[in-house]
Amino acid sequence: MEEFQRSLGYSFQDLSLLDRALTHKSFVNENGEPLADNERLEFLGDAVLELMVSDYFLKRFPDSAEGELSKLRAAVVRQSHLAKLARQVDLGSYLLLGKGEEQTGGRQKTSILADTLEAVLGAIYLDAGFESARGAFLNCFEGEINHVAHQKERRDFKSELQEYTQERLGCVPSYRVVRSYGPDHDKIFEVEVVVGEEIRAIGSGKSKKEAEQRAAKAVLEQFPSS
């Protein structure tokens, strides 16, 4: 535990909070002991993280509209990104898992890693308050948050859409050129993107790639920001 606390840059006053944050429900269920799993801490940590990231981007981009800030926040707090951050501090090595979850690769499961990282933030919040939780999070991950910020003007909408639809809808988007027009030296392409059976949009551009990006952006704008 000391090594994990060093990687966080935070030392718990109440180590039982850290123990609980790292305890998955499968461990409690299989051991039948009067232990608490980390789900309540995850619930709290989710709220702490939302506030923390909202505050960070609000100060970083004082002139940005609410919608753009929401998209930036969503990029940080989405499950796959949180799991990536958790892997950076080797969080999976410290989990308390049931045997069944252990055997099915639970230490590297995206959902478990993301949820546990939120639980750890919730535990730090209870241990020492919001500023300590924010300090620990930024100490570890500010570089990654800045990377998201740097993508503000260089977003890959196709990758975002694929990640979103795989995570939320269990499918991937498909693209097809519906038409092209204009002279060869100045041709315009129109591309349709379809997600599932109902969600679709068309984008146009001077290349197929540009048209696909615009179509993907149009679909993303149909989804909630977070």
Q: What is the pLDDT of residues 172-223, one digit of tens each?
A: 999 999 999 999 888 999 999 999 888 889 999 989 988 999 999 899 988 8
- The answer to whether 133 and 51 are in contact (CB under 8 A) is no
Q: Residues 37, 101, 118, 212: which is the catalytic one? A: 118
Task: Give a yes or no: residue 225 inside a domain.
Answer: no
Query: Does residue 118 have an active-site annotation?
Result: yes
Stretch 78-84: mean pLDDT: 93
Asked if 174 and 125 sit in the same domain, the reply is: no
Question: 154 pLDDT exceeds 70?
Answer: no
Residue 190 lies in domain: 157-220
Q: What percent of the chain has pLDDT over 70?
A: 96
Asked if 86 and 37 sit in the same domain, the reply is: yes
Asked if 32 and 131 sit in the same domain, the reply is: yes
Mean pLDDT score across all residues of the chain: 90
Task: Give a yes or no: residue 60 inside a domain.
Answer: yes
| pLDDT tier for residue 109 given thresholds of 50, 70 and 90 | very high
Confidence at residue 87, expressed as pLDDT on a 0 to 100 scale? 95
What is the number of structural domains in the chain? 2
Q: Is 63 annotated as a binding-site member?
A: no
Asked if 9 and 108 sit in the same domain, the reply is: yes
Question: 160 pLDDT exceeds 70?
Answer: yes
Stretch 88-100: mean pLDDT: 93
Task: Give a yes or no: residue 181 inside a domain.
Answer: yes
Task: Give a yes or no: residue 207 inside a domain.
Answer: yes
Task: Give a yes or no: residue 226 inside a domain.
Answer: no
Query: Does residue 63 have an active-site annotation?
Result: no
Q: What is the pTM of this model?
A: 0.68
Boundary of a domain, candidates 119, 153, 187: 153
Q: Residues 46, 101, 127, 160: which is the catalytic one? A: 46
Task: Give a yes or no: residue 13 inside a domain.
Answer: yes
Asked if 56 and 27 sit in the same domain, the reply is: yes
Q: Is 42 annotated as a binding-site member?
A: yes
In CATH, what number is assigned to the domain containing residue 148? Answer: 1.10.1520.10
Question: 226 pLDDT exceeds 50?
Answer: no
